[in-house]
Amino acid sequence: MSVRQSLLAILDQGPCYGYQLRHEFDRRTGSTWPLNVGQIYNTLERLERDGLVARGDADEQGHVYWEITDAGSAEVSEWLSSPVVRAQATRDELAIKLAVAATLPGVDVAAVIQTQRRASLSQLQSLQRAKYAGSDPEGPEELAWALVVDSMIFAAEAEVRWLDHTEQRLSLHPKHAMGLELTADRPKRGRPARAETALAGTERG
């Protein structure tokens, strides 16, 4: 999630002060990723350093309004017109946990998967209940919130499907054939060839 670009996009609609920016961000994301004011001001200071925003006048209550610069507006336009590029070789904690667990002698991987599936299904059910709790599904704030929740629902559903796939795939292998004992081989320096090949394929894609 890009807090930087999101705050810039909001400022592109008009000057705002810190708490106002937090409120506007929450309105547009359904408070799914709440920001604290300190995080907002730290981001604003970095944006100011980069010449993308400027401090404006303060009102009678002492609120300092921040204004977007021409360079900031250009960055917003570029952000909105560009695809989100997922980080290459991102470490997925769950995938790594199951991969390691599957190779540890004596570990009941099926139990590990079942525990995760229960948690994933519980999260999915909570998201689905939250989705249908809205009172005005046609309102702009409700629609923005629903888009975020839909994304989280699809991600949770995909995780459950992957867990089912993993359980089925592991069931085809005898438990004693999966365990990896510590090796006495001296590891070679550098990245494994398989990792290099996977990264190259990602870059080409």
Highest mean pLDDT among 40-54, 88-102, 137-151, 185-199: 40-54
Is the pLDDT reported for residue 191 higher than 90?
no
**pLDDT reading at 134 higher than 80:** no
Q: Who contacts 94 (Cβ-Cβ below 8 Å, separation ≥6)?
A: 116, 159
Give the mean pLDDT of the chain: 84
Q: Mark whether 142 and 196 lie in a shared domain.
A: yes
* 200 found inside a domain: yes
Strand-pair category, 64-68 with 53-58: antiparallel
Examine the pLDDT at 1 and tell me if it is beyond 90. no
Model pLDDT, residue 146: 83
Based on its alpha-carbon atoms, the radius of gyration of the chain, rounded to whole angstroms, reads: 23
Average pLDDT over residues 56-81: 93
What CATH number did the domain enclosing 21 receive?
1.10.10.10
| Helix/strand/coil for 51 | coil
Number of domains in the chain: 2
Domain termination residue (choose one: 17, 46, 81): 81
Pair (105, 125) in one structural domain: yes
AA identity, residue 88? Q
Backbone angles phi, psi at 56, to 5 degrees: -105, -155
**Same domain for 72 and 12:** yes
| 169 pLDDT more than 80 | yes
Under the banding of pLDDT at 50, 70 and 90, the label for residue 118 is very high
**Rounded alpha-carbon distances, angstroms, from residue 196 to 99, 190, 200, 205:** 19, 10, 6, 14
Range of the domain at 23: 3-81
User: Of the given ranges (42-46, 154-158, 183-187), which has the lowest mean pLDDT?
Assistant: 183-187
Most confident of 42-46, 57-61, 80-84, 123-127: 42-46
Percentage, residues of the chain above pLDDT 90: 45
CA atoms within 13 Å, Cβ hemisphere of 109:
26
Do 100 and 155 lie in one domain? The reply is yes
Average pLDDT of span 131-149? 74
pLDDT exceeds 70 at position 68: yes
| Lowest mean per-residue pLDDT among 58-67, 93-102, 119-128, 153-162 | 93-102
Look at residues 21, 48, 81 and tell me which one is the last residue of a structural domain.
81
88 belongs to a structural domain: no
The answer to whether residues 178 and 118 belong to one domain is: yes
Asked, for residue 173, whether it belongs to a domain, the answer is yes
Confirm whether 169 is domain-assigned: yes
User: Is residue 175 one of the residues assigned to a domain?
Assistant: yes
Percent above pLDDT 70 for the chain: 82
Distance separating alpha carbons of residues 23 and 26, to the nearest angstrom: 5
More confident residue, 93 or 184: 93
Of 20-24, 76-80, 121-125, 201-205, the one with minimum mean pLDDT is 201-205
